[in-house]
Amino acid sequence: MKKQIIAAKDSQPRPKRADAQRKVGSLLKAATEVFAESGVDAPVREIAERAGVGLGTVYRHFPQRSDLIVAVFQSNVDACADTAPVLADKHPPLKALSLWMERYVDFIATKRGLCKALYSGDAAYKALPEYFNSRLRPALMSLLDGAVEAKAVRPGTDPNDLLVAVANLCNAGYGRDPQHARRMAKLLVDGLRYRAED
Amino acid sequence: MKKQIIAAKDSQPRPKRADAQRKVGSLLKAATEVFAESGVDAPVREIAERAGVGLGTVYRHFPQRSDLIVAVFQSNVDACADTAPVLADKHPPLKALSLWMERYVDFIATKRGLCKALYSGDAAYKALPEYFNSRLRPALMSLLDGAVEAKAVRPGTDPNDLLVAVANLCNAGYGRDPQHARRMAKLLVDGLRYRAED
DNA sequence: GTATTAGCGGAACGATGTTCCGCTTCTTCA
DNA sequence: TGAAGAAGCGGAACATCGTTCCGCTAATAC
């Protein structure tokens, strides 16, 4: 017991129970879907129901509504960023870059309602843009580097420029053709191929 | 009666009852104060209470919460714009311009929470920026023209530039020194005096 | 002065975020 | 394996909003 007390000082709080981890998983999944369909203003109850979980469970894991939003955003950013190395392994550099851009477009498409929250000035969301950059920038950077090295794409492109540009493309045309952003993103990548050999 | 029917076709619905006009007045005043203190998310009940008015009365005059917000914004813009000719009458051109900028800074200061609403994409607020420009631009323009004519200020300044610049100054430093924006605005006006004679 | 009705106040409704607590079920340890 | 012990669960209950409704009040017209 003394051991426990001493150990407790710097040990993690304790691993979560297995079922709890599962519930958090379904919550994030359900919330991602609901936010994509109805925006971030969707009621917590709807998310709980879709996840097959009680309201109390939601608030146990995410004490505030905004905590859930933040967690969903981060987990989606992670999922998108983690795709990069996988694609890089399975495809030649240019193809990998192109496929990842599609993946990124899809990610942005599910985040429509979020800009509102981001611009709300709410302190809960202060860290999100930074997180977005810290994860997605390196992911895209590595794909760009690979493609440049393979002489498939011109050098000197700032990954942030691309990320921002595509995000703007997605948000510009509102209720329009959902394929529009995909085509425009592809056009950007094609643009990168110009003067690839210089 | 025939007369009435014919007249009804193009006559106004009918003048509002005197007490109703009074209530609308106190509602706008109360809402202006509450919005300035607590932001546009303040509950309708709080505004009704401060105005000494029932909830039903609020909704009779402003069927939706957003209607009240729009009305407050417009009436405040009007009040600010209407100050310009008054100041121009009572003071020399440069002094009038300077005083009006102070007035404008105070107006912006009470509108903190509103940017959130403006950027929310809610259709109810679509017309507000246009209204802002249509009233404030000419007001400032006339003051600028007066000062230019008196050789107190350099010519060629776009009133919109000034309006936007000051608005940004006010919103930049958040919980900071409330006098900061005033000082910066004064600095801008002083800047206008440079090369006034050219 | 009386009739008409615009306008008033606030109770009531429905939706939503959040809290609370008795019950369930996972984990641990003998 | 089985029985504490506690982490975790579910959903009723509460508080707060926006909004609706309706019986009553009082301003207006004649």
| Band of residue A136 on the pLDDT scale cut at 50, 70, 90 | very high
Least confident of A24-28, A118-122, A160-164: A118-122
Whether A184 contacts A192, CB under 8 Å: no
Question: Residues of chain A whose C-beta is under 8 A from some C-beta in B?
Answer: 116, 119-121
Residue nearest to nucleotide D10 (CA to C1'): A54
Query: Which residues in chain A have their CB less than 8 angstroms from residue B120's CB?
Result: 116
Inter-chain residue contact A120 with B116, CB threshold 8 Å: yes
Maximum average pLDDT range among A79-88, A167-176, B35-44, B156-165: A79-88
Least confident of A54-58, A59-63, B7-11, B143-147: B7-11
A89 vs A120, higher pLDDT = A89
Length of chain A: 198
Query: How confident is the model at residue B19, as a pLDDT?
Result: 94
Average pLDDT over all residues of chain A: 88
Query: How confident is the model at residue A1, as a pLDDT?
Result: 33
> Cβ neighbours of residue A105 under 8 Å, at least 6 residues apart?
A166, A170, A181, A182, A185
| Cα distance between residue A120 and residue B60, in whole Å | 29
In A39-64, alpha helices (H): 44-51, 55-61
Nearest residue to B68 (alpha-carbon basis) of B13, B125, B110, B131: B125
Q: Is the pLDDT of residue A13 over 80?
A: no
Inter-chain residue contact A119 with B119, CB threshold 8 Å: yes
pLDDT along chain B (198 residues), means of 10: 38 81 97 94 97 97 97 97 98 96 93 77 89 97 96 93 88 66 89 81
Where b means 16+ CB within 10 Å and e means fewer, B60-97 reads ebbeebbebbbbbbbbbbeebbebbeebbeeeebbebb
Q: How many Å does it take to go from CA B65 to C1' D28?
A: 30
Question: Residues of chain B whose C-beta is under 8 A from some C-beta in A?
Answer: 115-116, 119-121
Q: Chain A to chain B, count of Cβ pairs less than 8 Å apart?
A: 9
Inter-chain residue contact B120 with A116, CB threshold 8 Å: yes
Nearest CA in chain A to B172: A121
Grouping H, G, I as helix, E, B as strand and the rest as coil, residue A124 is: helix
Q: How many Å does it take to go from CA A38 to C1' C22?
A: 34
> Cβ neighbours of residue B20 under 8 Å, at least 6 residues apart?
B61
Q: Calculate how close chain A gets to B117, using CA atoms only, in Å.
A: 8
Q: Calculate how close chain B gets to A118, using CA atoms only, in Å.
A: 10
Query: Mean pLDDT across the stretch A3-17?
Result: 56
